[in-house]
Amino acid sequence: MKLKEAAKTSERFTGGHRLCSGCVAGPVTNLIMRASKNPAVVGAATGCLEVSSSIYPYTAWKDSFIHNAFENSAATVSGVEAAYRSLKKQGKMEEDFDFIAFGGDGGTYDIGFQSLSGAMERGHDMVYVCYDNGAYMNTGIQRSSATPKGANTTTSPAGKVIAGKQQYRKELTDIMAAHNIPYVAQISPFKPQELMKAAQKAFETKGPAFLNVLATCPRGWRSRAEKGIELTKVAADTCVWPMFEIENGEWKLLYKPRKKKPVEEWLRQQGRFKHLFKRGNEHIIEDIQEHTDKRWNYILERCGERQ
């Protein structure tokens, strides 16, 4: 769908929400909601998006929205879907609905992981969207299992003892693919058409679908507000955040940079990696580069692309 045409769809997520200035969760949610063709039931796990889009007595959602605890947005939405299926079977409802659960990386990778895994395994006809900003930003930038190695957070503080988070991030997209669900995609908002296309595919898929979307957090990444979208492009060009989809077990690469850039370019623009450029920490950047290359080659291989 061309953006010009996309702009003619109705607004489902409104302005007046209180996400920070430059928060990329805003455009991600807006575009995904616009890709849905049916009225939707939305649930959101505790996180920035939830608390800032539904501050009483205001709501930024034009669809039915269910406020959730941290761990159960997938469980709640799967329950709604099951109830809807039953009502439809009894002939009490005819209209089609989309069932969407939103979660940040904390509510998806960590706390909501078991309910997400359960909902996907049970095969509910729903879409789970994770907007991944790489830490618990809502509560004040604590590390999550999505935080990249080397990042300075309040629970992995860079100092004399450690240089930021010591572990690599978890590859949740692969874990969701291992659930053998019909549609999984890891995407990025700097390609809005690809994002909407993936969302549309997810909505049209019968059965569970999972979208993992990179969303810049200027507060937590210590980056400039206007660089939000640019950074997601740098992430794709440095192969830190590869874009791919897995449709019925078939891996497909969605973006291949013309020239792969070194990870320094990604690290340098964010204050959370500032300490990595101090003397004595060069080896961490080398480690991150090596890890990124390995992961990129693995994805190329899975997608049947040439290295």
Partner 1 sequence: MVKPGDGYKDIPIGGLILDAGNAKEYKTGGWRTKKPILDKEKCINCHLCWAFCPDISILSEDGVVSDQIDYDHCKGCGICANECPVNAIEMVKE
Shortest distance in whole angstroms from residue 62 CB to partner 1:
4
Q: Binder to partner 1 among 226, 250, 282, 290 (CB under 8 A)?
A: 226
Q: Can residue 161 be called a binding residue for partner 1 (CB under 8 A)?
A: no
Instruction: Tell me how far apart the alpha carbons of residues 261 and 191 are, in angstroms, rounded to a whole number.
Output: 18
* Tokens linked to 173: 């997209």
Residues 6+ apart with CB under 8 A from 79: none
Q: Can residue 106 be called a binding residue for partner 1 (CB under 8 A)?
A: no
* Length in residues, the chain: 307
131 vs 136 by CB, closer to partner 1: 131
20 vs 82 by CB, closer to partner 1: 20
DSSP 8-state code for residue 135: S
Site for partner 1 in 245-284 (CB under 8 A): none
Q: Can residue 162 be called a binding residue for partner 1 (CB under 8 A)?
A: no
Site for partner 1 in 14-33 (CB under 8 A): 14-27, 30-31
Shortest distance in whole angstroms from residue 221 CB to partner 1:
14
227 vs 302 by CB, closer to partner 1: 227
Residues 6+ apart with CB under 8 A from 168: 148, 149, 291
**Residue among 108, 104, 128, 109 nearest 220 (CA):** 104
Q: Are 42 and 102 within 8 A, CB to CB?
A: yes
61 vs 109 by CB, closer to partner 1: 61
Q: Can residue 63 be called a binding residue for partner 1 (CB under 8 A)?
A: yes
| End-to-end CA separation in angstroms for the chain | 30
23 vs 284 by CB, closer to partner 1: 23
185-214 footprint of partner 1 as x/- string (CB under 8 A): ----x--x----------------------
Burial 179-201, CB ≥16 within 10 A → b, else e: eebbbbbbbbbbbbebbbbbbbb
Binding positions for partner 1, rule: CB under 8 A: 3-8, 11, 13-27, 30-31, 53-54, 56-63, 189, 192, 218, 225-230
